[in-house]
Amino acid sequence: MNELGITLNRYLWQQHQQLKQPSELSMLFGQMGFAAKILSREISRAALVGLLGLVGEKNATGDAQKKLDVFGNETVIAAFSQTGLVAAIASEELDEVQFIDCGNEAQYILCIDPLDGSSNTDTGSPVGTIFGIYRRNSRGNCATEEDALRQGTELVAAGYVLYGTSTVLVYTCGNGVNGFTLDPNLGEFLLSHANIRAPEEGKVYSANLSYYREWHPHTQKFVDHLSDRQTLRYTGALVADVHRSLLEGGIYFYPPTDKHEEGKLRLLYECAPLAFVVEQAGGSASTGKQRILDIQAQSIHQRSPLVIGSHRTVALYETFLKTGSSG
Ligand code: P6P
């Protein structure tokens, strides 16, 4: 009989058996897959059910909030709250940490960007979900905000979902990186990208060059050097640009700008989870000066500069930023 394909649930069970991965993580990833199926369905038919466009107020970090941002946030909170395993959730769409469960089983903290790149939703362009999972540190009955203010090296799991020409869930528990593609007719995520390894360097760089004049002069020299050798691709969705860099090699960077002197992207639920995934695949992620995973979060919506992707190209970015040349 032909191989039927390996479902996400079967793979999670195999990892539990072979790598002694906690069964709770298998449940949490299963729920991420459940939420991703719902989001994939609603994103693909948003124009037909009135889910496009903006809602009135801005979100916690001052960004305009799309209807799908709100829907995505509600969906992931509901999916993870069902497990009884999540004590608290830090979300881009919530001002504060949302405390979910004080039960003995609730030992996990979820940091999530429910809908990354939501400015793309009304034009059918790619969007994503980014998530990171920590174990609680606090000892009391219920979690505290400090349980969410963590250093990326403490992540026990992380991943993303790309809603593009296909829906792909990519995750790591610290034992490599694997990708699963949703078969919408089966309603199953099937293993499609086993043991992803990021090429040492690529042929594509990804950045919003409209901010070129605002960047550090050494970053401008890096771009000048790279643009003679590589092609620019920029989708407006971090997940899509990082996924391409992971599979084909390349680099994504979002340096400090006049408007965002600390960088635009958020440490807890964008930079750190993606850094964990990319490092597990042999790539790198830094601010240009410091490893992303070494940064201790001081606030829930803390921002950070980000350069992420192929190890050699990230190192070249860091050398240029330090010296103004390729070294
Ligand atoms: P800009 C989306 O808002 C996001 O957080 C990332 O997904 C994306 O790469 C970036 O911001 C786009 O920002 O300033 O280029 O529009």
Q: What is the pLDDT of residue 66?
A: 83
Q: What distance in angstroms lies between residue 226's CA and the mean position of ligand 1's atoms?
A: 21
Domains of the chain: 8-193 (3.30.540.10), 204-323 (3.40.190.80)
Task: Say whether 270 is catalytic.
Answer: yes
The answer to whether 130 touches 269, Cβ cutoff 8 Å, is yes
Q: Is 113 a catalytic residue?
A: yes
* H or E element at residue 8: helix 8-19
Q: How far is the CA of 117 from the centre of ligand 1 (A)?
A: 6
What is the reported pLDDT for 27?
93
173: Cβ–Cβ under 8 A, 6 or more apart, which residues? 15, 19, 21, 25, 156, 157
pLDDT along the chain (327 residues), means of 10: 81 90 92 97 90 77 80 95 95 95 93 94 94 94 94 98 98 96 96 97 97 98 96 98 98 97 97 98 98 98 98 98 94
Query: Which protein residues are within 6 Å of ligand 1, measured from CB?
Result: 116-117, 119, 208, 236-238, 264-265
Please compute, for residue 97, the number of CA atoms within 13 A of its CA located in the half-sphere on the CB side: 22
| C-alpha–C-alpha distance, residues 292 and 239, integer Å | 16
Of the listed 8, 24, 85, 92, which one is catalytic?
Answer: 92
- How much is the pLDDT for 1? 41
**Cβ-Cβ contacts under 8 Å for 26 (sequence gap 6 or more):** 9, 12, 13, 15, 16
- Distance, CA 42 to ligand 1 centroid (Å)? 22
pTM here is: 0.96
Ligand 1: residue whose CA is nearest its atom 9: 238
